[in-house]
Structure 1
Amino acid sequence: MLVTDSSTIKKLLVESKTIAIVGLSPREDAVSYRVASYLQEKGYRIVPVNPRAVDQLILGQQVYPSLESLPFPVDIVDVFRRSEFLPDVAADYLKMSTKPKAFWAQLGLFSQEALDMLEDAGVADIMMDRCIKVDHQMLVEDDTNLACEI
């Protein structure tokens, strides 16, 4: 179900520890990198997923080529891929051996097809077109300087 209520999102962010970020760029000027860096500074374990960067470390972390290749469970899958790729990422999410608590598509990203796939599979917490950094600042940190840095 598409989640929009603040209490559910806050609970998810407070209870989660590990976030796989699909499309995390190794470029420090990229929005995905800045958001991931913020989350890492707040204590989350960041797991980069980017098939074009598997030979690199991003934010000091090993990069994985796909969600299916992750050898450990994650709490949230946060996606920085264009909307037309969300159904592919949703399909990969559904193939994971241990299902994360939530599927999160960043600000500006939405796919009805991906949403339908995830809902049909029973995924309870789906966020789309939301910035995880802004939600964390607003709901967990209560920061007045909100910016997704796009």
Structure 2
Amino acid sequence: MVTNYSDILSTAKTIAIIGCSANKYRTSYHIASYLKENGYRIIPVNPKYEEVLGIPCYDEMTDIPEKYTVDIVNIFRNSTHTADMVRQIIDWTQKTGQEPVIWTQLDVSSAEAEELAEKAGLAYVKNECMMVQHERIS
């Protein structure tokens, strides 16, 4: 588990957001908008939308084109789905050779997801709000 959020957020350029919503009243939309406004490239991942914030949205992590370097994958899903999301991320890393940090928002982490990430050698942030952590270092 990673706790040095400053290093992660200060070096990251691209953040894939699993569960990103186009509904402006959802937390994932608000945080995606904040991250975009603060200079990050965001890549929305949600099968419900074709685009979010004017950016193409992908159905799942494995649909993100290999041309993108993803530094962080931020998960906004119910904790019952987090292990499956980590499996998708692992499949994507095996396909691309990339090793993004897996970041789980508040109450999103699960023991199984954390264990899968550790076994795959991927850094894992547990139950932290990315926006709050970014505001702390800004």
TM-score range, shorter-chain basis? over 0.9
What is aligned with 1:61?
Answer: 55
- 1:1-150 pair list within 5 angstroms: 2-4=1-3, 8-53=4-49, 56-71=50-65, 72-96=68-92, 97-98=95-96, 99-123=98-122, 125-139=123-137, 141=138
CA distance in 1, matches of 2:37, 2:73: 18
Residues paired across the two proteins, number: 133
- How far apart are the structure 1 equivalents of 2:36 and 2:72? 14
Q: What is the CA–CA distance in structure 1 between the aligned matches of 2:112 and 2:25, rounded to whole Å?
A: 30
The structure number with the bigger radius of gyration is: 1
Unaligned runs of 5+ in 1: 142-150
Cα distance between partner residues in 2 of 1:110 and 1:32: 15
Q: Offset at 1:73? A: 2.4
Which consecutive residues of structure 2, in runs of 5 or more, have no partner in the other structure?
A: none
Give 1:9 shift: 1.3
SS in 1 for 2:48: helix
Runs of 4+ in 1 over 3 A off after TM superposition: none
Q: Is the CA contact (8 Å cut-off) linking 1:22 and 1:50 kept in structure 2? A: yes
> In structure 2, how many angstroms separate the alpha carbons of the residues matched to 1:131 and 1:88?
20
The separation in 2 between residues aligned to 1:68 and 1:135, in whole angstroms, is: 27
| CA RMSD across the alignment | 1.0
Task: Give % identity.
Answer: 38
